[in-house]
Amino acid sequence: MPPLVQPISDVRAAASTIARPVLELREVHTYYGHIHALKGISLVVQPGEVVTLIGANGAGKTTTLRTVSGLVKPRQGQVLLEGQDITHLPPHEVAALGVGHVPEGRRIFPRLTVLENLEMGAYLVRDPGEIRRRLKFVFEVFPRLYERQDQPGGTLSGGEQQMLAIGRALMMEPKIMLLDEPSMGLAPVLVETIFGVLKQLNEHGTTILLVEQNAHMALQVAHRGYVIETGRIVLEGTAAELAKNPQVQAAYLGGLD
């Protein structure tokens, strides 16, 4: 009997692998105490995509990322990583499954050296050769970090710290990278550099979910985007569509042309 059934399920399995998004949120509700921060967020990130989540301060962008990586637990809904339910996993297990979260405010370890910070990114990798290979890659992407590798992370400039935070997440070789406000507090020229690197990384195959207040920059690198307002997705579309949308222009791209 099994031979007859097997091929069909195999095809289904194969099909679902192809169509399976890297990350999917289904009707996620998250609370901070009594505050209903996410009111049913659903979104999808496909392999190789850069998806951006834009919205005002307090709309729930950071909470969405924190919910994905397990730092806060949703009360309802599901978070799926490559189809696997990670809704109730603790953050270190979510990280082990391939979610690289670059948190808001960079959160580098101030008293670890740059090199040690990067090594923390590869904490779950035991093979020294593999760690060396990844380090080499990160130093190629951010030569500045190579020059500063013996310095405590806390002594870096804001831009360098952002590079370190991204580099640290790259050390995880994540299936998806969650980036929370990489442009925050950086000079415009550095913002350009960081977004250039993100674009480059994506071209090399890194899937990115990008949270930004700087909607203009975000829509330049993203393929698709979601607009979030007070815990709800109010608009979604390709980056080009969103950039042309009058509502988005008025609310988030104000002052352009």
Partner 1 sequence: MTGQLRLIRLYRAVVYPLIQLTVWSAASLVIISAVTLALAVVFNRQVAGGLTLVDFVVRTLPQVAIDGLTIGFLYAMIALGYTMVYGVLQLINFAHSEIFMVGAFVGVEFMLLLNLPPDQPVQGLLLVILLTTLLGMAASGLLAVGIERVAYRPLRHAPRLVPLISAIGVSFFLQDTVRAIEGLVNNAFFRNYPSFPALNEPLTLASVTVAGEPVTVQMQAKIILIIVVSLVMLSGLNYLVNATRLGRAIRAVAQDQATAALMGVNVDRIIMLTFLIGGALGGATGVLFGIRVGRIDPYVGFIPGIKAFTAAVLGGIGNITGAMLGGLVLGVLEAFAGAYLSQFTGGAFGSEYKDIFAFAILIIILIFRPTGLLGEIVAQRA
Task: Find the shortest distance in angstroms from Cβ 161 to partner 1.
Answer: 12
Binding of partner 1 at residue 175 (CB under 8 A)? no
Nearer to partner 1, 14 or 96 (CB): 96
CA–CA separation, 175 vs 191, rounded Å?
A: 24
Binding of partner 1 at residue 69 (CB under 8 A)? yes
CB proximity list for 112: less than 8 A, separation 6 or greater: 120, 152, 153
Binding of partner 1 at residue 90 (CB under 8 A)? yes
Binding of partner 1 at residue 119 (CB under 8 A)? yes
Binding of partner 1 at residue 92 (CB under 8 A)? yes
Per DSSP, helices labelled H in 28-127 are 61-68, 91-96, 114-121
Stretch that binds partner 1, among 67-75, 79-87, 200-208, 222-230 (CB under 8 A): 67-75
CA–CA separation, 164 vs 182, rounded Å?
A: 11
Binding of partner 1 at residue 124 (CB under 8 A)? yes
Task: Find the shortest distance in angstroms from Cβ 234 to partner 1.
Answer: 28
Nearest Cα to 105, choosing from 179, 215, 173? 179
Nearer to partner 1, 44 or 112 (CB): 112
Q: How does strand 74-81 pair with strand 84-85?
A: antiparallel
CA angle 61, 81, 20 (to 5 degrees): 110
Q: Report the interface residues with partner 1, using CB under 8 A.
A: 69-71, 90-92, 95-96, 101, 103, 107-112, 116, 119-121, 123-124, 132, 168, 172
